[in-house]
Amino acid sequence: MSNTVEFARMNGLGNKILVVDMRGRKDVVTAAAAIALNADPATQFDQIMAIHDPKAEGTDAWIDILNSDGTKAQACGNGTRCVVQALAAETGKKVFTFQTVAGILNAIEHEDGTISVDMGTPVFAWDKIPLAEEFADTRRIELQIGPIDNPVLHSPSVMSMGNPHAIFWVDKDPMSFDLARFGPLLENHPMFPERANITLAQLLSRTSLRTRTWERGAGLTLACGSAACSAAVSAARTGRTGRKVTIDVASAPASGQLIIEWREADDHVVMTGPAEWEWSGSVDPLTGSFTRAQEQGALAR
């Protein structure tokens, strides 16, 4: 077995993604490899999406997802769009079904190049998110940071979109908050036994939100698809919006938006947005050592 596999550096609305082709192999991308790749500015990433041979009949691949600290992630919507674009370019297919630890994800690449991912159904029960304390209503829980009489952030909406999320509603630009300071404290708050993704969400209109996310296991991120889904669902749950919104990701370096629809018919959350190929190369999934290809790789182009 060769020591190296093909990979592509991609992004989903700025969310830094490494798509690694592990098909035909029995090994995995190790935590040590992930940490080494993230330490290099050329391959620094938010998530690794490792494509493995399918485990279940009727699926196209098993996707193993790693955070930049080497831990496992259950879901990554922006990363899934990158996988779709890579495989669509390779195979010519437009419709895919993937299996992850969070369940089955269905996705389609549209004629305009945008990609829709069915992220499944949201989870609201406190013990399934999970939370450390019981809350009958998770649209708003008791949690704050800052002075007790004048908290900086408070009363988040919490839910799971395959991974735990806390949405803090703010009345000014999310970029104006020191999320680099508050993010680690909230991610690791005792309320979240499996840690949590922390999102600041500003209501712009009945059909639009502006968000910024501190991602569990990755830190400050330029974009986070499952967080955008969670913000959209939480906005609808709390009566701020309807069930379809446009998300302006405050920290995204590229133009473009995410469209999130929480379908009433089946309760599924569908995210639509762009994906972008940057460059390809080969990587050792054990150590993380890599070389950049001189030409575009087959995985992504």
Q: The tokens 């495989």 sit on which residue?
A: 87
Residues in contact with 175: Cβ distance below 8 Å, sequence separation at least 6, in sequence order: 212, 250, 251
Residues forming a β-bridge with 244: 261
Nearest to 62 by CA among 72, 51, 71: 51
Task: Dig out the tokens for 200 from the structure.
Answer: 């600041």
Active site residue 82: no
Active-site hit among 224, 233, 247, 269: 224
Task: Dig out the tokens for 39 from the structure.
Answer: 């330490």
Active site residue 229: no
DSSP code, position 123: B
295 CB neighbour count, 10 Å cutoff: 8
Query: SS3 for 104?
Result: strand
71 CB neighbour count, 10 Å cutoff: 14
Q: What are phi and psi of 267, to 5 degrees?
A: 70, 10
Spatial contact of 62 and 98, defined as CB atoms under 8 Å apart: yes
Active-site hit among 5, 10, 18, 76: 76
User: Hey, which residues are catalytic here?
Assistant: 76, 224
